[in-house]
Amino acid sequence: MKPLIVANWKCNPITFKEVKFLFNSIKKGVRGIKNVEVVICPPFIYLPILRAFAFAKGYGGFAFGSQDCFWEERGAFTGEVSPLMLKNLGVKYVIIGHSERRKYLKETDEMISKKIQAVLRANLKPILCISDISEIKNLKFKAEFRNSEMGRKKKIGTSSRIKNLIVAYEPLFAIGTGKPCSPERAKKMRLTIKKKLNVPVLYGGSVNSQNAKDYVEKASFQGLLVGGASLKAKEFIKIVRNIS
């Protein structure tokens, strides 16, 4: 798997003009880089137009992700966006269970489990964010994963797609604080996660162009989830270039 550099724009930018400028700057800066997968996760409303920009002039070097999605495919669920809608739009990744959603939207383990299963069912790749290993404990899909590991695939609908799961380790003290977790400490957590779920693990939390390489090279993460630094085109391009 190529290293994944995921840009989590969160609830930014607020004008279309800024979105266009940011995206086109990144596009220009990462052109030609083939050994890293750059994933842009903008607010939902910008996804269709950014996809169009990405493919304009024949450049399709980006993948897109959303920052959340609902667990049902369709129906009377006001305000929600379903995994199938994202799938039909060409989205590949879905961030699930980000700590800001757990905190401000009160997302629970049950909701997060349902979302992961729905994303897997749609054949998209969930990026499950955890700030601690305890956050894996109560997720339902874990049992399914174990079962699939034991070869009992038939019983469980989503297990054959569990290989699409990605975990992002994002310690709370490091998110948006400018105080990243040390690569040594992050590496320990990566190994702990790997023991529980044998899936790719990303690091997130105050990633910048100075520290990005350490997480991938020293701590052997399979990529990065970048918040604040992904809104600054130059800084984000440097991160991608340092990893490539």
Of the pair 7, 81, the CB lying nearest ligand PGA is at 7
Residue 229: helix, strand or coil by DSSP? Answer: helix
Of 28-36, 144-152, 186-194, 227-235: span binding ligand PGA (CB under 6 A): 227-235
Of 67-75, 131-139, 158-166, 225-233: span binding ligand PGA (CB under 6 A): 225-233
Of 31-39, 50-58, 80-88, 201-209: span binding ligand PGA (CB under 6 A): 201-209
Of the pair 118, 226, the CB lying nearest ligand PGA is at 226
State which of residues 175, 219, 233, 240 lies at the interface with ligand PGA (CB under 6 A). Answer: 175
Specify burial of residue 17 (Cβ count, 10 A radius: 0-12, 13-18, 19+). exposed
Our finding on whether 210 is near ligand PGA (CB under 6 A) is no
Identify the H or E element spanning 130: strand 125-130
State which of residues 222, 227, 237, 240 lies at the interface with ligand PGA (CB under 6 A). Answer: 227
- Exposed e or buried b per residue across 133-147, where buried means at least 16 C-beta atoms within 10 angstroms of its C-beta: eebbeebebbebbeb
State which of residues 96, 204, 239, 243 lies at the interface with ligand PGA (CB under 6 A). Answer: 204
Contacts for 191-196: CB closer than 8 Å, 24+ residues apart:
192/133, 193/130, 193/133, 193/136, 193/167, 193/169, 196/133, 196/136, 196/142
Number of residues located near ligand PGA, criterion CB under 6 A: 13
Contacting positions for ligand PGA (CB under 6 A): 8, 170, 175-176, 204-207, 225-229
